């Protein structure tokens, strides 16, 4: 039975509703602020290698992802397809097939992905034998109740789903570079651990100076995030990890909140560079939370870099200027389509919009190089 309201009760009810609408959201409860645009600008942003490698085709990773998004594909499907180009390219030695191996010459791969609208995530770490770890991470998201599978378990999961498992993901190039590094580092196998670690670092830097590898590939990764015209946002990060790492080492890439974080109501952030620094500060989560408070992507990224600088106090991690002796880069996108690339030192990032693919300079915290 519907209860009738007299005129006085009706006016009182309307006034109360008006007062409720006028009260700021923060005073009504603790619900987080969200960005809710009527429409968004489709954008794909990634690390710079996303606009370099084509795996023998005609388009780069960011072009592939942007084209799929604007044609109506799911955003996560699009950004994963974009990074697959790099994972499969044997010339790209920082991710996937031909990624630089660990200290024992074994290629171990990490990846994570997040679907903003569906509030789902998946990741794999220390995965061997599968060229496209991003697709296995996506399968974890879609077909399990878990967020992260590692090592042999991740490989068996992939095998059970029909992924091809290969004995060795080294290319002739990646194996040649590993053998070069090994000969420089440990010719006698009798160096003590501290000397060996320093020898390994110096050997890697010398290979950079000789032009054998690019410096950014010592911590090689690709992060790629995209948003469509509906404001639906997703992201993926994939990597072969720190070159010549201790077997089993896992960096930030497969860890939610570090190598990647997506909130479907706010935006996405991902990273390349020194994974340990990013892990300690959970920087991608920090960036998204700053955007939740209203920060522009660039300002949110700079806030995270300042946090990393403040927490970097070990002398071995500082250069002669007292600054971090490593690079760290963030690729940031909100659901309005605003984006930024920020970095500890001067670097570049890739973006694709209606203007086409571009490689742009990042906003750097410090001048010069690490």
pLDDT digit string (tens) for the chain, length 370 residues: 334 444 444 444 444 444 334 434 433 344 444 444 557 899 999 999 999 999 999 999 999 999 999 999 999 999 999 999 999 999 999 899 999 999 899 999 999 999 999 999 999 999 999 999 999 999 999 999 999 999 999 999 999 999 999 999 999 999 989 888 887 877 654 345 556 666 666 676 677 677 666 655 555 689 999 999 999 999 999 998 888 788 899 999 999 999 999 999 999 999 999 999 999 999 999 999 999 999 999 999 999 999 999 999 999 899 999 999 999 999 999 999 999 999 999 999 999 999 999 999 999 999 988 8
* CB of 110 closer than 8 Å to CB of 238: yes
Instruction: Name the residue among 333, 320, 177, 308 with its Cα closest to residue 240.
Output: 177
Q: Is residue 120 part of a domain?
A: yes
CA angle 53, 56, 58 (to 5 degrees): 80
Asked whether residue 10 is assigned to any structural domain, the reply reads no
Report the C-alpha gap between 230 and 236 in whole angstroms: 19
Residue 31 lies in a domain: no
Contact status, residue 274 vs residue 219, Cβ threshold 8 Å: yes
Measured N-to-C along each axis, helices 75-88 and 61-70 cross at an angle, to the nearest 10 degrees, of: 160
Compute the distance between CA of residue 231 and CA of residue 81 in angstroms, rounded to an integer. Answer: 19
Task: Say what the pLDDT of residue 216 is.
Answer: 55
pLDDT at 57: 97
Catalytic residue among 20, 132, 171, 221: 221
* 14 in any annotated domain: no
Query: Where are the alpha helices (H) located in 71-192, listed in sequence order?
Result: 75-88, 133-143, 151-160, 172-185
Q: Indicate which CATH number applies to the domain containing 220.
A: 3.60.20.30
pLDDT of residue 310: 97
Task: Give the helix/strand (H/E) hosting 358.
Answer: strand 356-361
Is 8 among the domain residues?
A: no
**In this structure, is residue 24 part of a structural domain?**
no
Predicted pLDDT of residue 5: 44
What tokens appear for 302 in the block?
């700079």
Strand ranges of the sheet holding 339-343, from the earlier edge strand across to the other edge? 260-263, 267-273, 328-334, 339-343, 363-364
Give the number of domains in the chain.
1
Burial of 29 (0-12, 13-18, 19+ CB in 10 A): exposed
Active site residue 221: yes
Please tell me the predicted confidence (pLDDT) of residue 184: 82
Verdict on whether the full-model pTM lies above 0.85: no
Q: Tell whether 339 is covered by a domain.
A: yes
User: Containing domain of residue 119, as a range?
Assistant: 59-364
In a domain, 270, yes or no: yes
């Amino acid at each position: 039975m519907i209860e009738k309201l007299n005129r006085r009760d009706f006016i009182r009810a309307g006034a109360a509703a008006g007062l409720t609408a006028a009260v700021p959201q923060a005073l009504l409860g603790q619900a987080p602020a969200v960005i809710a645009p009527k429409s968004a600008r489709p954008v794909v942003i990634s690390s710079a290698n996303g606009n370099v490698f084509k795996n023998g085709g005609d388009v780069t990773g960011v072009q592939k992802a942007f084209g799929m998004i604007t044609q109506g594909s799911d955003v996560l499907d699009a950004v994963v397809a974009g990074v697959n180009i790099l994972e499969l390219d044997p010339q790209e030695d920082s991710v996937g097939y031909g990624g630089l191996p660990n200290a024992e010459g074994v290629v171990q791969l990490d990846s994570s992905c997040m679907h903003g609208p569906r509030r789902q995530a998946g990741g794999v770490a220390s995965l061997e034998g599968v060229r496209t770890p991003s697709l296995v991470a996506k399968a974890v998201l879609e077909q399990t109740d878990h967020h992260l599978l590692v090592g042999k378990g991740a490989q068996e999961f992939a095998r059970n789903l029909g992924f091809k498992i290969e004995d060795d993901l080294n290319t002739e190039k990646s194996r040649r570079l590993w053998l070069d590094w090994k000969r420089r580092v440990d010719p006698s196998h009798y160096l003590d651990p501290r000397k060996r670690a320093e020898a390994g670092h110096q050997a890697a830097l010398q290979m950079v100076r000789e032009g054998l590898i690019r410096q950014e590939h010592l911590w090689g990764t690709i992060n790629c995030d995209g948003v469509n015209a509906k404001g639906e946002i997703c992201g993926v990060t994939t990597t072969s990890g720190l070159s010549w790492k201790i077997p089993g080492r896992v960096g930030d890439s497969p860890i939610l909140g570090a190598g990647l974080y997506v909130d479907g109501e706010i935006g996405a952030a991902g990273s390349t560079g020194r994974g340990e620094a990013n892990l300690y500060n959970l920087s991608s989560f920090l960036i998204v939370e700053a955007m939740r408070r209203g920060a522009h992507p660039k300002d949110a990224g700079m806030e995270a870099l300042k946090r990393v600088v403040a927490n970097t106090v070990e002398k071995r991690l500082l250069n002669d200027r007292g600054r971090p002796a490593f690079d760290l880069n963030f690729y940031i996108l909100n659901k309005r389509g605003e984006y930024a690339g920020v970095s500890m030192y001067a670097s570049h990032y890739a973006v694709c919009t209606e203007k086409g693919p571009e490689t742009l300079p990042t906003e750097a915290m410090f001048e010069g190089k690490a």
